[in-house]
């Protein structure tokens, strides 16, 4: 990589000692953080006493393109002349021959799926490069960290653009692991000319979202968040209000799930105020983020623990258990355990004004949030964490259609609210 003109922050990063578990590079697009991260990783590979290493991104193709190739600055180019692409039982990798006669194997694998971690189970790794770590599945991140436990020179590096404030990677990785945090902006990239930097600044200044995320490098809620009116201080209750405030009327369950997707089961309590107005409380949530647990095992935990716990909490039995019509396997397993299920109302045939289908259900839930009819109740075991995560990430695309991501708890909430709205005349 001779001949490259590095910025000060890049030089400082590359030369810094390897004393933390994770070097965390977070900041704006085109800030030069990934190029510097690759150089720092290459330096680690040279000095590492471990043989096997890993680069992971959302897909294996992205891992190769962003880090292994890196627009001509990747590991393949850094070690040109003393390396070759090879393949063994663990997968494709860059085989690097070091001057002292030792070798390094740098594998590249996708990490964005619920079962991605299976591709590295059993491997022993010395280091991991997490490319766009916020796009990786949490099970993959945690498995990577476990795979390096026995390393002689254990170290990791992660790069990412600013994630939403609620992104679980902040709470579950950055705030737990020993991380060295470096913040990056466009001004840290020496290849961006003053003229181009000014063009970017002017473009970003026209949008508050782009200004904060792509110019200042701050964490912001994405544009187009569907339930933007949700307020954690207003819509989350610590406990179910007393009967002097709300009178319980009906309790039921609603759920969403899939064979390889997350499963979310919510417990809903309909209450009435002194003014005889109905309120809907989501008093508990059983959530499994997808992976290896069989649907039969999920059903046993839902029926054997979650449902009895919620019955005790609400002080009544449920009127029904409604499951996503597409999740026939979960319905079957719950039915086998003696709980009769029905299909949830997924808005498949709803039309209201110019809105159709899922958009009708979303708009009705938005109205209940705005009007103070819908609340989440936190619970020590079955709390609101999954919902909070998805509420901050569930958004629409450029055409105004809901993006099919971060929506398992959101779909479950919509199913639960559909029943409430149509049964109690809110619709």
What strands lie across the sheet with 103-110, from one edge to the other? 83-88, 91-97, 103-110, 52-57, 127-131, 155-160, 22-27, 179-184
Summarised one tens digit per residue, pLDDT across range 271-316 is 999 999 999 999 999 999 876 789 999 999 999 999 999 999 999 9
Task: Give the CA count within 13 Å in the CB-facing half-sphere of 30.
Answer: 12
What does the longest C-alpha to C-alpha distance in the chain come to? 81
Confidence band for 237, pLDDT divided at 50, 70 and 90 = very high
Please state, in angstroms and rounded to a whole number, the distance separating the CA atoms of residues 33 and 186: 10
pLDDT reading at 192 higher than 90: yes
Q: Report the Cα 303 to chain-centroid distance in Å.
A: 27
Indicate the CATH number for domain 232-423: 3.30.420.280
Give the residue extent of every domain in the chain.
Answer: 8-197, 232-423
Polymer length in residues for the chain: 427
Please give the Cα distance from 405 to 242 (Å, whole number).
36
Per-residue pLDDT at 258 exceeds 80: no
pLDDT for res 206: 83
Taking alpha carbons only, the member of 177, 49, 65, 62 closest to residue 125 is 49
The domain covering 8-197 belongs, at the CATH homologous superfamily level, to: P-loop containing nucleotide triphosphate hydrolases (3.40.50.300)
Q: Name the one residue in this structure whose structure tokens are 């977070």.
A: 26
Average pLDDT, rounded, for the chain: 93
- pTM (2 d.p.): 0.65
Q: What is the spatial distance between Cα 424 and Cα 418, in angstroms, rounded to a whole number?
A: 10
Radius of gyration for the chain, computed over Cα atoms and rounded to the nearest angstrom: 25
Sign of CA dihedral 234, 239, 242, 243: positive
320 vs 159: CA distance, rounded Å: 46
For the chain, the helix, strand and coil percentages under 3-state DSSP, each to the nearest 5 = 35, 25, 40
Ranges of H-type helices in 82-193: 138-147, 168-169
What is d(CA 302, CA 308) in angstroms, rounded to the nearest whole number? 9
How many CB atoms are located within 10 Å of the residue 278 CB? Answer: 19
What is the pLDDT, as a whole number, of residue 291?
67
Q: How high is the pLDDT of residue 405?
A: 82
The 10s digit of each residue's pLDDT in 19-51 is 999 999 999 999 999 999 999 999 999 999 999
pLDDT for the residue 2: 56
Q: Which residues pair with 356 in a beta bridge?
A: 351
DSSP assigned state of 82: S
């Amino acid at each position: 990589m001779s001949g490259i003109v590095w910025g000060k922050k890049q030089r400082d990063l590359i030369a810094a000692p390897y004393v933390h578990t994770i070097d965390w590079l977070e900041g704006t697009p085109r800030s030069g953080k990934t190029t510097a991260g690759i150089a720092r990783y290459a330096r680690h590979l040279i000095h590492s006493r471990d043989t096997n290493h890993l680069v992971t991104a959302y897909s294996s193709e992205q891992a190769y393109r962003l880090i292994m190739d890196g627009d001509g600055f990747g590991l393949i180019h850094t070690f040109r002349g003393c390396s070759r692409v090879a393949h063994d039982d663990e997968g494709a990798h860059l085989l690097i021959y070091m001057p002292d006669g030792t070798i390094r194997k740098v594998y590249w694998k996708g990490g964005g799926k619920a079962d991605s971690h299976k591709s590295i189970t059993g491997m022993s790794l010395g280091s991991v490069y997490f490319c766009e770590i916020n796009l990786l599945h949490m099970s993959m991140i945690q498995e990577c960290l476990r795979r390096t436990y026995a390393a002689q020179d254990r170290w990791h590096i992660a790069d990412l653009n600013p994630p939403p404030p609620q992104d679980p990677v902040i709470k579950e990785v950055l705030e737990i692991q020993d991380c060295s945090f470096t913040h990056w902006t466009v001004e840290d990239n020496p290849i961006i000319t003053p003229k181009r930097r000014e063009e970017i600044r002017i473009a970003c200044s026209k949008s508050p979202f782009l200004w904060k995320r792509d110019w200042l490098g701050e964490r912001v809620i994405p544009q187009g968040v569907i339930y933007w009116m949700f307020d954690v201080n207003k819509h989350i209750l610590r406990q179910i209000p007393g009967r002097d405030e709300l009178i319980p009327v009906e309790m039921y369950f609603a759920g969403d799930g899939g064979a390889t997707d997350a499963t979310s089961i919510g417990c809903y309590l309909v209450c009435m105020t002194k003014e005889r107005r109905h309120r809907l409380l989501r008093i508990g949530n059983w959530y499994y983020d997808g992976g290896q647990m069989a649907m039969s095992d999920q059903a046993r935990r839902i029926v054997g623990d979650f449902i009895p716990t919620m019955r005790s909490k609400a002080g009544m039995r449920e009127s029904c258990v409604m499951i996503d019509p597409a999740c026939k396997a979960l319905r079957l397993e719950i039915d086998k355990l003696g709980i009769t299920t029905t299909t949830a109302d997924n808005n498949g045939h709803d039309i209201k004004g110019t809105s159709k289908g899922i958009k009708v259900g979303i708009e009705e839930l938005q109205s209940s949030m705005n009007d103070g009819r819908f609340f989440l109740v936190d619970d020590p075991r079955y709390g609101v964490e999954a919902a909070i995560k998805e509420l901050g990430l569930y958004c629409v695309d450029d055409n105004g259609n809901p993006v099919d991501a971060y929506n398992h708890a959101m779909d479950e909430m919509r199913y639960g609210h559909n029943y409430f709205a149509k049964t109690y005349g809110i619709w």
